[in-house]
Amino acid sequence: MSAPAIEIDNLVVKFGRFTAVNGLSLTVNEGELFGFLGPNGAGKTTTIKVLIGSLRPSEGNIRVAGFQIPAEFERVKQQFGYVPDTENHVEEFTGRENLELFARLYDLPLSTVDESLARLELSEAADVVVSAYSKGMRRKLLIAREIMHRPKILYFDEPTANLDAHSTELVRELLRELASEGTTIFLTTHNMEEVEQICDRVAILCRGELVECDTPTNFVTRHAVRIVKAQFEQEGEVVRESLDLDLDDQRERLAEIIRTEMCVRVHSQEFDFQDVFLKITGQAYT
Amino acid sequence: MIRSEMIKILLAREFRRLMKNPSALMLLGLLSAVALLMATSRPVSNKGDQQGNGKAAQAAVDVWLIYDQRSVWLDHLAENLPDSPTIRIVQRDRVPIENGTWKLPPQDAAVEVVYGDEFETRQGSAFGKVVLNGRYPGKDAEVLAPFWDWFWPALTEYHTQGLRFEQSTEPLNAKATDAPTSLEDTSVADLVTNELIATMLLLIVMFFACCHLLVSFTAQDRERGTLAALVLSPANTSEILLAKFIFHLLISLGGCLAIVAILKPIVLTQPVLWLVILLTSVGLMCVGTCIATLAKTQASAALLALCYMLGGTVLFYLATKFTAFAFIKQLAFENYTFPILFATMNRPVSVFHTPGLITMLALVGIWIGIARSCFFRYGWR
pLDDT tens track for B191-221: 567 778 888 889 988 998 999 889 989 999 9
**Domain boundaries defined on chain A:** 4-221, 225-270
A contacts of B225 (beta carbons < 8 Å) = 84, 86-88
Segment among A20-34, A237-251, B181-195 with least mean pLDDT:
B181-195
Over the stretch A196-235, which tens digit does the pLDDT of each residue have? 888 999 998 888 899 889 888 888 777 777 788 888 888 7
pLDDT, chain A, mean: 87
Q: Which residue of B has its CA nearest to A85?
A: B225
Over the stretch B66-87, which tens digit does the pLDDT of each residue have? 988 888 788 888 888 888 888 8
Q: What is the mean pLDDT of residues A68-84?
A: 89
A contacts of B380 (beta carbons < 8 Å) = 54
* Chain B contact present for A138, CB below 8 A: no
The end-to-end CA distance of chain B, in Å, is 21
Q: What is the mean pLDDT of residues A49-66?
A: 91
* Chain A contact present for B1, CB below 8 A: no
Q: What is the mean pLDDT of residues B6-16?
A: 92
Name the band, by pLDDT with cuts 50, 70 and 90, for residue B122.
Answer: low
Residue A166 three-state SS = helix
Nearest to A105 among B17, B20, B234 (CB): B234
Which 3-state string (H, E, C) describes chain B? CCCHHHHHHHHHHHHHHHHCCHHHHHHHHHHHHHHHHHHCCCCCCCCCCCCCCHHHHCCCCCEEEEECCCCHHHHHHHHCCCCCCCEEEEEHHHCCEECCEECCCCCCEEEEEEECCCCEEECCEEEEEEEEEEEECCCCHHHHHHHHHHHHHHHHHCCCCEEEEEEEEEECCCCCCCCCEEHHHCCHHHHCCHHHHHHHHHHHHHHHHHHHHHHHHHHHHHHHCHHHHHHHCCCCHHHHHHHHHHHHHHHHHHHHHHHHHHHCHHHHHCHHHHHHHHHHHHHHHHHHHHHHHHCCCHHHHHHHHHHHHHHHHHHHHHHHHCHHHHHHHHHCCHHHHHHHHHHHHHCCCCHHHHHHHHHHHHHHHHHHHHHHHHHHHHCCC
Furthest-apart CA atoms within chain A: distance in Å: 78
Check pLDDT > 90 for residue B278: yes
A contacts of B224 (beta carbons < 8 Å) = 88-91
Q: What is the mean pLDDT of residues B152-175?
A: 73
Check pLDDT > 70 for residue A278: yes
Nearest to A106 among B16, B225, B233 (CB): B233
- B381–chain A nearest CA distance, Å: 6
Cβ <8 Å between A105 and B229: no
The answer to whether domain A4-221 has CATH 3.90.1150.10 is: no
Contact B209, B278 (CB under 8 A): no
- B202–chain A nearest CA distance, Å: 29
B contacts of A145 (beta carbons < 8 Å) = 229
Cβ <8 Å between B233 and A105: yes
- A153–chain B nearest CA distance, Å: 13
Check pLDDT > 90 for residue B342: no
* Chain A contact present for B369, CB below 8 A: no
* Chain A contact present for B25, CB below 8 A: no
Check pLDDT > 50 for residue A132: yes
Nearest to A92 among B5, B9, B21 (CB): B21
Nearest to A88 among B229, B234, B235 (CB): B229
Name the band, by pLDDT with cuts 50, 70 and 90, for residue B97.
Answer: confident
Name the band, by pLDDT with cuts 50, 70 and 90, for residue B241.
Answer: very high
Contact B59, B105 (CB under 8 A): no
φ, ψ for residue A190, nearest 5 deg = -110, 0
Q: What is the pTM of this model?
A: 0.73
* Chain A contact present for B24, CB below 8 A: no
d(CA B50, CA B45): 10
Check pLDDT > 70 for residue B57: no
* Chain B contact present for A70, CB below 8 A: no
Q: What is the mean pLDDT of residues A125-141?
A: 93
Q: What is the mean pLDDT of residues B100-116?
A: 83
Q: Which residue of B has its CA nearest to A49?
A: B381
From B221, B228, B238, B231, select the one nearest A105 (Cα to Cα): B231
Cβ <8 Å between A105 and B380: no
Cβ <8 Å between B381 and A101: no
Determine the pLDDT at residue A270. 67
Segment among A55-59, A95-99, B318-322 with least mean pLDDT:
B318-322
Nearest to B226 among A55, A90, A104 (CB): A90
Pairing of strands B63-67, B109-115: parallel
Q: What is the mean pLDDT of residues B133-155?
A: 82
Determine the pLDDT at residue A194. 80
Top pLDDT among B352 and B132 is at B132
Determine the pLDDT at residue B364. 94
* Chain A contact present for B21, CB below 8 A: yes
Check pLDDT > 80 for residue B100: no
Cβ <8 Å between A89 and B226: yes
Determine the pLDDT at residue B282. 96
* Chain B contact present for A84, CB below 8 A: yes
pLDDT, chain B, mean: 81
Over the stretch A99-117, which tens digit does the pLDDT of each residue have? 999 999 999 999 999 999 9
Cβ <8 Å between B232 and A102: no
Cβ <8 Å between A88 and B233: no
Over the stretch B83-96, which tens digit does the pLDDT of each residue have? 888 888 888 888 88
Check pLDDT > 70 for residue A58: yes
Name the band, by pLDDT with cuts 50, 70 and 90, for residue B49.
Answer: very low
Q: What is the mean pLDDT of residues A50-68?
A: 91
Over the stretch B19-43, which tens digit does the pLDDT of each residue have? 887 777 787 788 778 777 877 766 5
* Chain A contact present for B234, CB below 8 A: yes
Determine the pLDDT at residue A246. 82
Determine the pLDDT at residue B271. 87
What torsion do the CA atoms of B288, B292, B293, B295 make, to the nearest 10 degrees?
130
- B217–chain A nearest CA distance, Å: 11
Determine the pLDDT at residue B189. 52
* Chain A contact present for B377, CB below 8 A: no
Query: Which of B17, B232, B238, B378 to mutate to test binding with chain A, by most A CBs within 10 Å of its CB?
Result: B232
Determine the pLDDT at residue B353. 67
Determine the pLDDT at residue A283. 66
B contacts of A52 (beta carbons < 8 Å) = 232
Top pLDDT among A267 and B60 is at A267
Highest mean pLDDT among A238-242, B185-189, B242-246, B304-308: B242-246
Furthest-apart CA atoms within chain B: distance in Å: 86
Q: Which residue of A has its CA nearest to B376?
A: A54
